[in-house]
Amino acid sequence: MRRLLPALCGTALALAMAPAHAAGNAENGKLLTYTCAGCHGIPEYRNAYPNYHVPKIAGQNEGYLVNALKAYRIGDRQHPTMVAQASSFSDQDIADIAAYLAAQKAQ
Ligand code: HEC
């Protein structure tokens, strides 16, 4: 993972400099993550179900979030809820979501 990070940062930079739509659009990501809050508790980080374990996703590394969501989408990660969530997202949606979540402060 450590060796991967510089490569991811380079990619993010390249994407940020590419015209309009390649990079994650945090505004759109905010809209797309509306339904995530019920479980992940964004933006307050409070889980609506205290006895239900969910990972913190706001403030996470952007590249990590992209990889996680794509892994659910293709079934590499098999949590049924998250597979269902991720399966409806395009690459652009995932980039937007990651851009939004990564910009949130962990509390
Ligand atoms: C019904 C509850 C629920 C909803 C809604 C939900 N999640 Fe999750 N999410 C989970 C659970 C539970 C896990 C842990 C799954 C696992 O162990 O693989 C998880 C894991 C994740 C992870 C991996 C985090 C990590 O550290 O590995 C990401 C990223 C994520 N969710 C993003 C989202 C996004 C984005 C949305 C909205 C589009 C969303 N989730 C909606 C319950 C939910």
Q: What is the 3-state secondary structure (H, E, C) of 4-55?
A: HHHHHHHHHHHHHHCCHHHCCCHHHHHHHCHHHHHHHCCCCCCCCCCCCCCC
Amino acid 3: pLDDT: 63
Nearest atom in ligand 1 to 35's CA: 37
Domain ranges of the chain: 4-102
Identify the pLDDT of residue 56. Answer: 81
Which pLDDT score, from 0 to 100, does residue 20 have? 44
Q: Is 81 in the pocket of ligand 1 (CB under 6 A)?
A: yes
CA contacts within 13 A on the Cβ side of 73: 14
pLDDT digits (tens, 9 = 90+) for 2-49: 565 555 555 555 544 444 445 899 999 999 998 887 788 765 555 555
pLDDT of residue 76: 97
Ligand 1 pocket test: pick from 85, 94, 100 the residue with the most ligand atoms within 8 Å of its Cβ: 85
Which CATH number applies to 4-102: 3.40.190.10, 3.40.50.10420, 1.10.3720.10, 1.10.760.10? 1.10.760.10
Question: Ligand 1, atom 23: nearest CA belongs to which residue?
Answer: 68
Cα of 19 to ligand 1 centre, how many Å? 30
Q: Is 82 a pocket residue for ligand 1 (Cβ < 6 Å)?
A: yes
The model's pLDDT over 43-87, given as tens digits with 9 standing for 90+, comes to: 555 555 555 567 888 889 999 999 999 999 999 999 999 999 999
98 confidence band (pLDDT: 50, 70, 90): very high
